Copies of this chain bind each other. A is one copy, B any other.
Amino acid sequence: MIKKDGIFLIVGLGLIGGSYAKGLKKQGYTVYAISRGQQTIDYALENHIIDKGAVREDPVLIGQADYIIFGLYPHAMIDWIARNQRHFKPGALLTDVCGVKCNVVDKVQEFLRDDVEFIGSHPMAGKEVSGVQNSDETIFYTANFIVTPTEHNTEKGVGFAKELARLLGFYHVASLTPQEHDKMIGFVSQLTHAVAVSLMNTSDNTHLKEYTGDSFRDLTRIAKINETLWTELFFLNKKNLVQEIDDFVAELENLKQKIACEDEAGIKQLFVQSTERRKQFDK
């Protein structure tokens, strides 16, 4: 369904946007990009990651794109679309890479022109580094891609997002409502980041670094976090995340009570349960 001679425009050529560009070029597509920073565009052109690029919101580039992928942070994307939608080619298909879907997809769909379509999607891939220089299309080969259709989407739009995921070689493609997506991500991703950050912040234990082994390092690796992006993601999914933190704290307090009163049978049951559940997550 994605036309072989269709033109892709990537808006925001960072780590993820750049990885999309590389993957699409590999498949033979024409790829344009708009991104702040002349260095980013120059690098991408020199390395044949894109065919054309601009640092400005160029109406000509925008108007030529059949498919637009937004590699921007949520609020920046919403503002960008509001500012530039008058330039979109009629029939253009749009998607994003945001880690939260409620309060993002619905906002865009509310004000979007009727003759173009925005389908939310979330590539669950990343790296500890940023920028187009570190982009790498192979990060998608082991990753999940989630499409989040709403009542504003058509079969064509949903098909576009799923075909895009397959073109890029994602390991697994799934479809969830934005609500289901955000509940899932609140647990799997956001709660884990909140836990890692809080472990690191509990007290200044950097003097203990010579005593830490792999367990502590594994649990805190994601405490190195982009403060601008994650503040946005946490606030956009506030309700789910606060609930997940409450549930987790209740469970930890339950464990603590069993330690405090030396409830041997009770604590062993918790260990057996966590062991059983975790085994199901082994690949």
Contacts and interface: CB of A to CB of B under 8 A. Distances in A.
A264 B231 contact: yes
A272 interface: yes
Contacts of A253: 245, 249
Contacts of A251: 198, 201-202
A202 B248 contact: yes
Interface in A174-214: 174, 184, 187-189, 191-206, 208-213
Contact of A271 (B225, B242, B264): B225
A108 to B, nearest CB: 21
A203 B187 CA distance: 10
Contacts of A172: 210
Contact of A227 (B194, B210, B255, B275): B275
Interface stretch (A14-22, A61-69, A110-118, A215-223): A215-223
A196 to B, nearest CB: 7
Nearest to A146: B211
A200 B238 CA distance: 21
B279 A224 contact: yes
Given A228-B268, A235-B264, 17 more contacts: A172-B210, A188-B211, A194-B252, A196-B219, A198-B254, A199-B248, A206-B280, A206-B281, A217-B281, A218-B221, A224-B278, A227-B275, A230-B271, A242-B256, A242-B260, A249-B249, A249-B252
12 contacts: A188-B215, A188-B216, A189-B213, A191-B199, A198-B248, A202-B244, A202-B247, A215-B222, A224-B279, A231-B267, A231-B271, A234-B259
CB-CB nearest 7 A-B residue pairs:
A227-B271, A200-B274, A223-B274, A198-B252, A197-B274, A223-B278, A218-B218
Interface of A: 124-125, 143-144, 146, 172, 174, 184, 187-189, 191-206, 208-213, 215-228, 230-231, 234-235, 238, 241-242, 244-249, 251-256, 259-260, 262, 264, 267-268, 270-275, 277-281
